[in-house]
Amino acid sequence: MNQHFAKVCMTHVAWTIRDGQEIPGWNAQMESSTPSERKENELTQRILKLWERYKPLCLERLSVIEEAHTAASSTALDDELRGKAESAAHKLAGVLGSIGLPEGSNIASEIEALLQPGDTIAPGQLLHLSELVTNLRSQLTRGPAAHDDSSEML
Amino acid sequence: MRPLLGIADGKQEKEALTFGIWGVPGVEQRAILIVDDDVIIRETLRAVLESNGYVVETAETAKDAMEKSKARTFNLALLDIKLPDMEGTELLKKMHGIAPRMMKIMITAHATLKNAMDSLNLGADAYLLKPINQKELLKTVEEKLREQYAAESMSEEDVADWIQTRLRKLKVQ
């Protein structure tokens, strides 16, 4: 293949990723990498695009957890809301690792365990829940990084 | 060598021949069905598998999965253990009837590990825990497809033994 044409194609690929937003260093990376590195980079970019698309859904699930936490703080957490929040945490635990946020996945798992039906949430647990919810929001706000090693987690 | 086609199910053989998979010349890509009610899981798994050369279809419900499995042949299915319209273990049983030769891998969260063990007893070929590790996913999928290919390439005597083993496994259910 003509070298100039190949370079133009790579540049085009780089520009079309992430809805036309150029990723710093991406062009240079594409031009110098091996086919397997390119494949890995392309997958990382594809996962990042998925994150952009589904971040609102993850935040929606987080808001259910936050609502349950607020209700628990005022001892008004009913079984229905608790169940919804537990389900939201369960889903986040399953998907965050898949989208490059393994730490978020661990936090969501802890929240899910605290929201299991039946037991009353003790004051100490409530404090821990509060920290977990804050940390989870922070993880979701930060999002996965393009160079994150966690991209191996699905 | 005769490919191991439809010996357990003649309809499956016809279907496979129609769609040209199972060693029929001219088809190189292997088809995978992802069944999960969570769109993020479906799309991330799709991204990884497609980037590794697999043809991927997805289904959100058990009903959708069964319809898609009847409409075409898949080499392998990734089945979530919790689906909105049916337990994954129930879908697994139904899939044995629809597509006995398809490899079936269950996907589960830690909280439902017991279900994963149950599903192995019900004839699942493997299971993966969420959050799924990319390397683990590809390794398991490749391993199961290699097993499938090996079964396909068996001699007639081996085929008879393999069928007996498979039938015993299915009867246990």
Nearest to A101 by CA among A62, A74, A65: A62
Task: Please name the member of A43, A54, A102 whose beta carbon is closest to the beta carbon of B40.
Answer: A54
Give chain B's mean pLDDT: 82
In whole angstroms, give the CA distance from residue B100 to residue B131: 28
- What is the per-residue DSSP string for B15-77? HHHHHT-TT-TT--PPEEEEE-S-HHHHHHHHHHHHHTT-EEEEESSHHHHHHHHHHS--SEE
- The answer on pLDDT for B62 being more than 70 is yes
Q: Which residue of B lies nearest to A42 if distances are taken between CA atoms?
A: B51
* Collapsed DSSP state (helix, strand, coil) of residue A139: helix
- The answer on pLDDT for B27 being more than 90 is no
Q: Worst-scoring range by mean pLDDT, A27-31, B45-49, B146-150? A: A27-31
- What tokens does A54 get? 């589904």
A86 touching B (Cβ < 8 Å):
no
B103-140 pLDDT per residue, tens: 999 998 866 677 778 878 889 999 999 999 889 999 99
CB-based contacts of A77, cutoff 8 Å, min separation 6: A68, A71, A121
Question: What is the pLDDT at residue B114?
Answer: 77
Chain B, window 96-155: residues with a beta carbon less than 8 angstroms from a chain A beta carbon: 109-111, 130-135, 137
DSSP code, position B122: T
B84 touching A (Cβ < 8 Å):
no
The minimum CA-CA distance between A118 and chain B, rounded to whole Å, is 16
Q: Which residues of chain A have pLDDT under 50?
A: 1-24, 147, 149-151
Q: Find out whether B100 and B12 touch, Cβ atoms under 8 Å.
A: yes
A-B Cβ pairs (cutoff 8 Å, strict): 68
In whole angstroms, give the CA distance from residue A41 to residue A23: 12
Contacts of A43 in chain B (CB under 8 A): 47-48, 51
What percent of chain B has a predicted confidence (pLDDT) above 90? Answer: 53
Burial per residue of A14-41, b for 16 or more beta-carbon CB atoms within 10 angstroms, e otherwise? beebbeeeebeebbebbeeeeeeebebb
Provide the residue ranges of all domains of chain B, joining segments of one domain with +: 10-172
What pairs with residue B107 in β-bridges?
A: B80, B128
Angle at A7 between CA B45 and CA B48, to 5 degrees: 5
Angle at A137 between CA A135 and CA A139, to 5 degrees: 70
Q: Which residue of B lies nearest to A99 if distances are taken between CA atoms?
A: B44
Task: Please name the member of A43, A57, A90 whose beta carbon is closest to the beta carbon of B109.
Answer: A90
In whole angstroms, give the CA distance from residue A108 to residue B170: 37
Contacts of B39 in chain A (CB under 8 A): 54, 57
pTM (2 d.p.): 0.74
Contacts of A96 in chain B (CB under 8 A): 131
Nearest to B80 by CA among B134, B36, B136: B36
Q: Do A50 and B40 touch (CB under 8 A)?
A: yes
Q: Which CATH number fits domain A54-152: 1.10.287, 3.30.70, 1.20.120, 1.25.40?
A: 1.20.120
In whole angstroms, give the CA distance from residue B44 to residue B24: 30
Q: Do B51 and A42 touch (CB under 8 A)?
A: yes
Contacts of B80 in chain A (CB under 8 A): none
- The answer on pLDDT for B21 being more than 90 is no
Question: What is the pLDDT at residue A1?
Answer: 41
Q: Do B41 and A95 touch (CB under 8 A)?
A: yes
What number is the ipTM of this complex?
A: 0.72
- The answer on pLDDT for B167 being more than 60 is yes
Q: Which CATH number fits domain B10-172: 3.40.50.300, 3.40.50.150, 3.40.50.2300, 3.30.70.920?
A: 3.40.50.2300
